[in-house]
Amino acid sequence: MPAPAPDDAFFMRRALDLAALGLGHARPGAIVGCVVVGPEGDIIGEGWYERYGGPHAEVNALAAVRQPELLPQSRVFVTLEPCAHHGQTPPCADLLIEKRVGEVIVCHDDPFTLVAGRGLAKLRAAGIPVQTGLLAEEGRWLNRRFLTFHEKKRPYLVLKWAESADGFLAGPHFQPVQISGPQAGLLTHQWRTQEAAILVGTRTALHDNPRLSARDWPGPQPTRLVIDKNLALPPTHHVLDGSQPTVVYTLRERAATPNLTFVKLPGTAVSADWLPAMLADLHERGIQSVLVEGGPTVLGALLAADTWDEIRIFRSPRRLERGIAAPRLGLRGWQSQEKVGEDDLFIWIKD
């Protein structure tokens, strides 16, 4: 008995899988995949947005079609509304019209102010049938960083920490202690390539002296973000070495140096005074997402303000008996749990 023919959801899922290949590389743009299905119901071209400033997914997919004469009878599945403006590249809606494609099926619309329905309107005005909303929930989840950035005007925030079995995230007096195992460490480095920036507070930067880089996983390096209200960090610390772009949020003035920018924030403490200003500055800088790796003051302030999108916690089987307590969560939202080496990974997604 022959296998059943693929349905529309099959082709859109393929486009979503392709889009995911651009994670970490397409920012601050969206991650987008595109599949061209020929008149016989088979895939004749596909592509994704491989890097920011490069050809869009639709351009790559159409370029892969070896028989362009089939395009007027073909259907194009794309995970995000085709752009309608001249940005880094020409409008994809214009290209689809030029190629006279038979139909365009879109996962979800684009909230970016220069698109926001214009791409769909342009296609329809040219007489190309358009469907929208196929696997929209899955598409919005995949592009949650881009959508949060444009809809909420702030970066997508992922809070992450490791805690011992008895609820500590550092030793007494913030003494650095290895809590999670090597597999959790490797996964953390992968996460660092997926987010645009990493944020830590003064104590974490001072006591742990972290590099805040993705050394153990291939991919783009994140921008380093440090809160150092009194500029107490020694210039010998890794985060001030100028090896990668770094922004220091402080209450004092200091001139920038290569790869090192100082931003003066309002207020007198890590509190609600500085949080909106810092998030607004990150949005202005085009920082699409932030992995917040501590410490307790920064994590506590974001939790108290209910300003977060995901929480990822590695819980180790190791006990410390005493130390700095991890935040205590009484949260609503979706939660998952999985094993990562010797640790348990818990993930909360805000409702």
Contact 295, 282 (CB under 8 A): no
E strand or H helix at 122, and its extent? Answer: helix 118-125
Q: Please, what's the b/e burial string for 256-284 (b: 16 or more CB within 10 A of its CB; e: otherwise)?
A: eeeebbbbebeeeebeeebbeebbebbbe
Q: Please say if 58 is a catalytic residue.
A: yes
* Cβ neighbours of 120 (radius 10 Å): 22
E strand or H helix at 344, and its extent? Answer: strand 343-349
Q: Which of 40, 46, 50, 58 is catalytic?
A: 58
214: Cβ contacts below 8 Å, ≥ 6 apart: 189, 190, 192, 193, 220, 221, 222
- Is the alpha carbon torsion for 139, 33, 348, 195 positive or negative? negative
| Whether the bond into 295 is cis, omega within 30 of 0 | yes
Distance of CA 326 to the CA centre of its chain: 25
Q: How far apart are CA 217 and CA 231, in angstroms?
A: 31
Which residue in 291, 263, 288 sits closest to 277, CA to CA?
A: 263
What are the distances in angstroms from CA 159 to CA 153, 199, 349? 18, 9, 11
* Cβ neighbours of 110 (radius 10 Å): 24
Contact 343, 184 (CB under 8 A): yes
Burial of residue 232 (CB within 10 Å: 0-12, 13-18, 19+) is exposed
Q: 44 by DSSP, 3-state: which? A: strand
DSSP letter, residue 72 = G
Q: Which residues belong to the active site?
A: 58
